[in-house]
Structure 1
Amino acid sequence: MTKTKKLINAPETIISEMIAGMVGAHPDILTVEGATGRAVVAVDGPRDGKVGVVVGGGSGHEPAFAGYVGRGLADAAAVGNIFASPSPEHIAEAARAADGGAGVVLLYGNYTGDVLNFTMAAEMLADEGIAVRHVAVADDVASAPAARRNERRGIAGDFFVFKIAGAAADLGEPLARVEALAQKANAATLSMGVALSPCSLPQTGKPNFEIGDDEMEIGMGLHGEPGVRREKLASADTITDALMQAILAELGAGQGDRVAVLVNGLGATSPVELYIVFNRVKQILDGHGIAVHRSWVGEYATSLEMAGASITLIRLDAELTMLLDHPCHTVALTQGAVKGGSPAAGARSNRRQTPQVEAASAAPAVALKSDGAITPQIFRQMMRRAGDEIIAERDWLSELDGVIGDGDHGVTMEIGWKAVQGALNNAPADETIEASCKRMAKAFLDAVGASSGPLYATAFLRAGAAVSDRLNLDAGALVDWLAGALQGIRDRGRAEPGDKTMIDAWVPAVEAARAAVSGGAVAVIGAARDGAERGMQATAAMEARRGRSAKLGARSVGHIDAGAASTFTILRAMAAALDEAL
């Protein structure tokens, strides 16, 4: 497979350098707040008494999402890793910066990782006393039928939903009203796209999927996911006709109605091509007697260097039209003349800081059960080995994910486990297994976001809690740890066996571990490893029902799930480390 070329310095510094460059290029519009460096905030946006609007998602879609931060649009953006949701702490920092005392609306695409992380952030913020609402944009008609619209992906329709919500907040609408108008825009916005080539992650330098020179993917996702069907390459008009037919069939617009149009390039499509697509869109709308109120043609929500385009229509009424026309000033969109043109004008005087947690008074010491061969030191060796194996298998895991997902699973897991390894290296020698699990959970979640972040963070927390009465683990306690991890993943992700997720490896792993408990700890983890391998292999025959690959339907059959593969990798590494230690 041909390696791709990128203008980068090092994969691990991509996001920090990009943010520094963006803020440095636009210091009149953007700044960075918070300890994580992932909250990009409008210099002239947040202010007292105004609802804060926070957008966010993975990087690689520029100018989305930070490009829509500025006066009259979003007040802040939470910036995730490439194609990976920002973590709850990234989101919370952006929300704190945007909070002017009137509440905050979180806006993001309807992807599993974003939903998990933004929901967790909303819970954190609510605990801090910030009123929070959140809206998941779901505009992609290709990804689910109208009857299951809540399952649809958010693609370039973010552009219109962000614009409407930002205008409503800028005009002083209260929290419930801003949320309602964002939902109204979401319901009125439909998109569909086509990909002519894959993109490649900077960390791997490999195309996410293979496609013939004479082929195209209809209904592709914004993260490099394959489309809902593959066809022979056709003319621009033929492709546009197919996309518009799917959009207009549901939009319900007819003679005398008005729409706004976005023809969006995915990163490697020339303006020549995009304007040819728009020309056909306009012809089709004119033929239906539908007026174009406003139009945008260019790159507004990209997918790294993917070639292709998407078409988005929003059906307008008087209210949505007024909000769409409201002035704003951001990196990606400037419209009209905004009021309060200097950073000091109307700026918030009292930005909320990250809450300081007081140290809890020491609880009475409780004697922990010390029987069992797995000491805290051996446990941490098992976790470090899991990280080593994930890092070694990064490309394999990403290749598995690229076939039916977005190709970033291996990269995401590598980032998370490197963070875990770093955190464990700072653990005191006498730290308990439960405390190490808490340390791992925080490190993974803060580093990753994506769907893996909340899932593994919850798994570590539940697993640690399951053995909170233990100093060392015996065979039974190791089963409890594994079962706790499984329960955490199920509680957070809501997946069940047969959905083609990591659950399909975790369930047989735990079942096999329970059956082997009489053989001791080495037998338990060896059985868990073997059960996970059987479960991983079984996912190849399954049709995905959860996650991004669920949008592919029958096209997901025949391929191993990447999450199940990483589960097997982790348990295989734990077994090897325990064999060596004992």
Structure 2
Amino acid sequence: MTRLFNDPTEFADEMIDGFVAANHLQVRRVSGGVVRSTRSTPDSVAVVIGGGSGHYPAFGGLVGQGLAHGAAMGNLFASPSAGQVYSVATAANNGGGVLLSYGNYAGDVLHFTQAQEKLRNEGVDCRTVTVTDDIASASIAEKHKRRGIAGDLTVFKAAAAASEAGYSIDDVERVAILANERTRSIGVAFTGCTLPGADTPLFTVPEGRMAVGMGIHGEPGLRETDVPSADGLADLLVGELLAELPDGIGQADGQRVGVILNGLGSVKYEELFVVYKRVAALLEEAGLTVVDPEVGELVTSFDMAGVSLTLFWLDDELETFWRAPADTPAYRKGSVGAAEQMDEAEMHDSVATAAVVEPGSPESQAAAVTALAAIEAVLAVIEENADELGRIDAVAGDGDHGVGMQRGARAAAAAARDAQAKGAGVETLLVSAADAWADRAGGTSGALWGVMLRALAGEVGDTAAPTAESVSAGVTAARTGIQSFGKAEVGDKTMVDAIVPFTDTLAAEVATGKGLTAAWSTAADAATAAARETADLLPRMGRARPHAEKSLGTPDAGAHSFALIVQSIAVVLTAEKGETE
């Protein structure tokens, strides 16, 4: 259980600051994460990795010579925002292009893809390789849906070593793709992890039992077995991995493999060595030659008690990169050449100047006051329900929804207050809130709320008072943006299950001539009913998908929080006595 923290919502930021203070000769702080504090070869490819915090040494601990050039670091178990990824990638860029690499999770894909598009629009050659090593999270037929766990390291290291060797962006991308295709992992857990400020772990495993197939975000395993002996665990892990050989490898006998026996947070090194004794013997019996094995904590899940095993099937090129030297705060291999420290001027992380707010029309400024009241109400309802949202999310997901929504709503409210004080119209105020929410919350929910608020802002404008029709059009645009961005449909057990009935009901009510207050209240009731009904659905998307049956009987956290939010706004509109109509 985590005992040492201040404000749980500030934990990740305080952790990063302390990490940089302890390792300033290798990393420096930039907005959104860390980059190398040493000079890299001009015009070389920058390998930028990232994901949620709570996985140390991943991701910041892997930044340094021979490994990553930068790491975007999100909140605990939540993807970094697109703005954070863009900031880190911009700071890390050496002029030879940027390769983004990260575990295959919905929020990470959304945010890293947004950042990639922005970089490309600015003329930066940016590529992406997602890591999909976890064989327990999808079948071989759907391996593109698999998540990334400890196999992250093999892909990151191969790509970075290729960059150090002077490879072009095309070849660095090729190497990363090949490394991912030849990496397979599986993990187990004996206990769940407990996030700072939480009273209970994200999930529990009965005494004497072991969850097989867990992820690195506190996701429950796919099945449970009795806890075996150390040798029995090695038998299970090796057996599962040798049962699925990568494409192009006909048989295990005669192959060379890199091996990672990874501790998830609370399993001690001594225990890992006992397990590895049997792992090494089994691999030798199978005719494999082990190359530079790694035993220790490489990708953790906060304080989870668990272990994962990774096999990295090598060819000559990949073996060269696996053996290549590296020197980072948490990972060292061989001997790297001395690197020059960047000077203070080079290490300066430029801070964007505050945007100038053009005053809205008087009518739009008046509406902005109501919009600010609505955002304040959203913040209040999220603060009140954050623990419950985390509990719901933890049933089959990673339990970060409450904290992420708190961070997002707090940032949105602060940005909205600032914009309103500067005379912003309602569009500018909502755009400010959208960007702040997406950047601060990270994760899937942060991206989606950023999309929604921006879409709504675009329809209401800064020059006139919003009408029931313009607000309904904005909500419809938000729904379109969400479904286009996240690809979810009704029935997938996501926030979309509440958004669609809300949107349809609002449009129908407005079409009959209802004012905004009455129409919104009716639509909010429809969203609440739909959110409640998600308890009867099995998830078909996101981190909960591999644990679908575990979520039966529990509503979707995103749908539930959406319903809470629109109901809180209905109260504000009613109190305003329809002044926006």
What TM-score, normalized by structure 1, do the two folds share? 0.93
- Measured in 1, the distance between the counterparts of 2:208 and 2:296 equals 24
CA distance in structure 2 between the partners assigned to 1:434 and 1:293 by the alignment: 58
Q: Which SS does the other structure have where 2:243 is aligned? A: helix
- Could you tell me which residue of structure 1 aligns to residue 295 of structure 2? 297
Partner of 2:399: 407
For 1:422, the equivalent position in structure 2 comes to 414
Q: For residue 328 of structure 2, what is the amino acid of its counterpart?
A: T
Q: CA deviation at 1:381?
A: 0.9
Which of 22, 25, 28 pairs up with 1:28?
A: 25
Q: Would the alpha carbon gap of residues 408 and 537 (structure 1) be closer, same or farther in structure 2, given more than 3 Å must change?
A: same
**Residue 313 of structure 1: how far off its partner (Å):** 0.5
Q: Is 1:377 aligned to residue 369 of structure 2?
A: yes
Further displaced range: 418-427 or 332-341: 332-341
Q: 2:111, 2:235 → 1: CA distance?
A: 37
Distance 2:339 2:305 in 1: 38
Q: Which residue of 2 aligns with 1:261?
A: 259
CA contact (8 A) 1:46 1:98 kept: no
Q: Deviation per CA, 1:444-478, whole angstroms, max 9, x where unpaired?
A: 11212211121111111111112237632333333
User: Could you tell me how far apart the structure 1 residues matched to 2:348 and 2:118 are?
Assistant: 14
Match of 1:283 in 2: 281
For this pair of structures, how many residues does the alignment match?
570
The sequence identity of aligned pairs, in percent, is 39
Q: Is this contact kept in 2: 1:73–1:330, CA < 8 A?
A: yes
Q: Secondary structure at the match of 1:71?
A: coil
Aligned to 1:15: 12
1:527–1:231 CA distance, 2 compared to 1 (3 A)? farther
- Report the counterpart of residue 549 of structure 2 in structure 1: 554
Displacement of 1:43 in angstroms is 2.0
1:532 to 527, 542, 547: 527
CA gap of 1:432–1:332, structure 2 versus 1, over 3 A, is: same
The 10-residue stretch of structure 1 (512-521 or 525-534) with the greater mean CA deviation from structure 2 = 512-521
CA distance in 2 between partners of 1:355 and 1:5 (Å): 33
Amino acid aligned to 2:267:
T
- Aligned residue identity for 2:478: A
The 3-state SS of whatever aligns with 2:272 is: helix
Question: 2:529, 2:10 → 1: CA distance?
Answer: 37
Matches of residues 328-339 of structure 1 in structure 2 within 5 Å? 328-339=326-337
Partner residue, 2:323? 325
Which residue in the other structure is 1:495 paired with? Answer: 488
The residue type paired with residue 107 of structure 1 is: S
**SS at the partner of 1:250?**
coil
1:392-471 equivalent positions in 2, closer than 5 A? 392-428=384-420, 430-468=423-461, 471=464
For residue 573 of structure 2, the aligned residue among 546, 555, 578 is 578
> Which residue identity does 2:483 align to in structure 1?
R
Supply the distance in 2 between the matched residues of 1:359 and 1:479 (Cα, whole angstroms): 28
The whole-number CA distance in structure 2 between the counterparts of 1:488 and 1:391 is 26
Q: Tell me if 1:486 matches 2:479.
A: yes
Question: Could you tell me how far 1:417 is from its partner in structure 2?
Answer: 0.2
2:81 maps to a residue whose letter is: S
Alpha-carbon distance in structure 1 between the residues aligned to 2:495 and 2:336:
48
What pairs up with 1:147-296 in 2 under 5 angstroms? 147-251=141-245, 252=249, 253-296=251-294
C-alpha separation in 2, matches of 1:475 and 1:292? 67
| Counterpart code for 2:38 | D
Unaligned runs of 5+ in 2: none
- 1:65 is matched with 59
Q: Deviations over 1:383-433 (max 9, x none)?
A: 210111011100010000000100000110010000011111112354222
CA contact (8 A) 2:393 2:556 kept: yes
Compared with structure 1, are the counterparts of its residues 45 and 248 closer, same or farther at alpha carbon in structure 2 (3 Å cutoff)?
A: farther
Q: Which moved more, 1:480-489 or 1:178-187?
A: 480-489
What secondary structure is seen at the aligned counterpart in 1 of 2:170? helix
Matched, 1:505 2:498: yes
Partners of 2:392 and 2:121 in 1: CA distance: 38
Question: Among 120, 123, 129, which residue is 1:126 paired with?
Answer: 120
Counterpart CA distance in 2 for 1:68 and 1:421 is 35
* CA deviations over 1:34-89 (Å, ceiling 9, x no partner): xx2x3311122533121111111111000111111111111111111111111122
SS in 1 for 2:244: helix
| SS at 1:125 equivalent | helix
Q: Deviations over 1:482-538 (max 9, x none)?
A: 222222211211111111100001111112222322332222111121111121122
- Give, as a single letter, the amino acid of the residue that structure 2 aligns with 1:324: W
Question: Cα offset for 1:351?
Answer: 8.4
